[in-house]
Amino acid sequence: MNYHILTLFPDMVADGLNTSIIGRAADKGLLSIEAINIRDYTKEKHGHVDDAPYGGGAGMVMQALPVCEAYEALCKRLGKRPKVLYMTPQGRVFNQTIARELAGEEDLVFLCGHYEGIDERALEMIVSDCLSIGDYVLTGGELPAMVMIDCISRLIPGVLSNDSSAEIESFHDNLLEYPQYTRPEIYEGRRVPEVLLSGHHKRIEQWRREQSIRRTWERRPDLLDGANLTEKEMIFLKSLGSEAKKDLQI
Ligand code: ADE
Q: What is the DSSP string of the chain?
A: -EEEEEES-HHHHHHHHSSHHHHHHHHTTS-EEEEEEGGGG--STT---EEPPTT--SS-EE-HHHHHHHHHHHHHHHTS--EEEEEEEEEEEP-HHHHHHHTT-SEEEEEE--TT-B-HHHHHHH-SEEEESSSS--S-SHHHHHHHHHHHHTTSTTSSSSGGGGTSSTTGGG-PPPP---S-SEETTEEPPGGGGS--HHHHHHHHHHHHHHHHHHH-GGGGGG----HHHHHHHHHHHHHHHHHHH-
Mean pLDDT of 41-48: 95
Ligand 1 centroid, distance to 73 Cα (angstroms): 25
Q: What is the pLDDT of residue 7?
A: 98
87 lines ligand 1 (CB under 6 A): yes
C-alpha span between 139 and 124 (Å, rounded) = 22
Ligand 1 centroid, distance to 144 Cα (angstroms): 6
pLDDT tens, residue by residue, 202-246? 999 999 999 999 999 999 999 999 999 999 999 999 999 888 777
Ligand 1 centroid, distance to 159 Cα (angstroms): 26
Is 172 a residue whose pLDDT tops 80?
no
pLDDT tens, residue by residue, 60-86? 999 999 999 999 999 999 999 999 999
Q: Which residue segments constitute the domains of the chain, with CATH numbers given?
A: 2-153 (3.40.1280.10), 186-249 (1.10.1270.20)
For ligand 1, atom 6, the nearest C-alpha belongs to 89
> Contact at 8 Å (CB) between 228 and 217?
no
Is 115 a residue whose pLDDT tops 90?
no
Q: Indicate the pTM of the whole model.
A: 0.93
Mean pLDDT of 169-191: 92
Is 100 a residue whose pLDDT tops 90?
yes
C-alpha span between 134 and 66 (Å, rounded) = 27
CA nearest to 119, candidates 79, 162, 66, 70: 66
C-alpha span between 215 and 226 (Å, rounded) = 15
Q: What is the pLDDT of residue 32?
A: 98
Task: Using most ligand atoms within 8 A of CB, pick from 98, 110, 118, 138 the residue to mutate for ligand 1.
Answer: 138
Is 250 a residue whose pLDDT tops 90?
no
Is 193 a residue whose pLDDT tops 70?
yes
Ligand 1 centroid, distance to 133 Cα (angstroms): 6
216 lines ligand 1 (CB under 6 A): no
